């Protein structure tokens, strides 16, 4: 626990908890609006990047003799992806479900590992960490097992996971100054 607090800083834990919780609440309350906006923003970004790649190709073709055909191929692929995102916005939701599932799976294992470490330090509230880790793991398995079927719930589940991770950071923040059961070192601001 001391190393977690020392490596991130106590105030940083509070800020991370606040940011994750806020993003989680936004995703829970406004899932459809945010995913539609995100799909359009990513498509526009792909179009801008492809225009930049073509411009770079034109500029570098004049000054160098290198074959820069890959810039044109990248531009064509980005335009195709941008059009796909505009025409099939659910594609983004499916990709989001798979990538969020993988991210949540990794994060849940980290949270469970932190809980086991906290138990070895004699922390009283280590079971809450296990609960948060197991709930996040459950959501990750659901997202990875049924990415197409849960398309409407993908953003809500991601929001719930972010909210749980925010709560996890708030737990670490609030527990960082409390004494342990076994009387081990008291982690306080002086030790950070």
Q: pTM of the prediction?
A: 0.49
Asked whether residue 145 is domain-assigned, the answer is yes
Asked whether residue 188 is domain-assigned, the answer is no
Asked whether residue 16 is domain-assigned, the answer is yes
Structure tokens at 98: 């798979």
Instruction: Measure Cα distances from 122 to 9, 18, 135, 169, 171 in Å.
Output: 21, 26, 23, 19, 15
Burial of 145 (0-12, 13-18, 19+ CB in 10 A): exposed
Hey, is 88 helix, strand or coil?
coil
Asked whether residue 189 is domain-assigned, the answer is no
Burial of 121 (0-12, 13-18, 19+ CB in 10 A): middle
Q: What percent of the chain has pLDDT over 70?
A: 79
Asked whether residue 121 is domain-assigned, the answer is yes
Give the confidence band of 135 by pLDDT, cuts at 50, 70, 90: very high
Full residue range of the structural domain in which residue 139 is found: 10-178
Place of tokens 């659910």: 90
Asked whether residue 169 is domain-assigned, the answer is yes
Asked whether residue 190 is domain-assigned, the answer is no
Count up the domains in the chain and report the number. 1
Q: Per-residue pLDDT tens for 142-184?
A: 888 887 766 667 677 778 888 888 888 888 888 776 655 554 5
Asked whether residue 42 is domain-assigned, the answer is yes
Q: What is the pLDDT of residue 182?
A: 53
Q: Per-residue pLDDT tens for 14-45?
A: 887 888 888 888 878 887 777 778 778 778 88
Q: What is the pLDDT of residue 5?
A: 46
């Amino acid at each position: 626990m001391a190393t977690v607090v020392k490596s991130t800083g106590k105030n940083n834990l509070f800020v991370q908890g606040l940011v994750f919780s806020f993003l989680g609440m936004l995703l829970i309350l406004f899932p459809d609006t945010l995913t539609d906006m995100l799909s359009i923003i990513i498509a526009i970004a792909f179009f801008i990047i492809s225009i930049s790649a073509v411009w770079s190709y034109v500029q570098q073709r004049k000054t160098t003799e290198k074959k820069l055909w890959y810039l044109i191929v990248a531009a064509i692929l980005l335009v195709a992806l941008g059009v796909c995102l505009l025409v099939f916005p659910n594609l983004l939701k499916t990709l989001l479900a798979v990538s969020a599932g993988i991210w949540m799976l990794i994060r849940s294992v980290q949270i469970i590992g932190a809980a086991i470490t906290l138990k070895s330090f004699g922390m009283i509230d280590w079971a809450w960490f296990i609960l948060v880790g197991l709930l996040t793991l459950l959501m990750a398995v659901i997202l990875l097992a049924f990415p197409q079927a849960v398309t409407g719930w993908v953003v809500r589940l991601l929001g719930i996971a972010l909210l749980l991770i925010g709560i996890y950071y708030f737990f670490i923040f609030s527990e960082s100054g409390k004494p342990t059961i076994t009387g081990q070192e008291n982690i306080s601001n002086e030790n950070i």
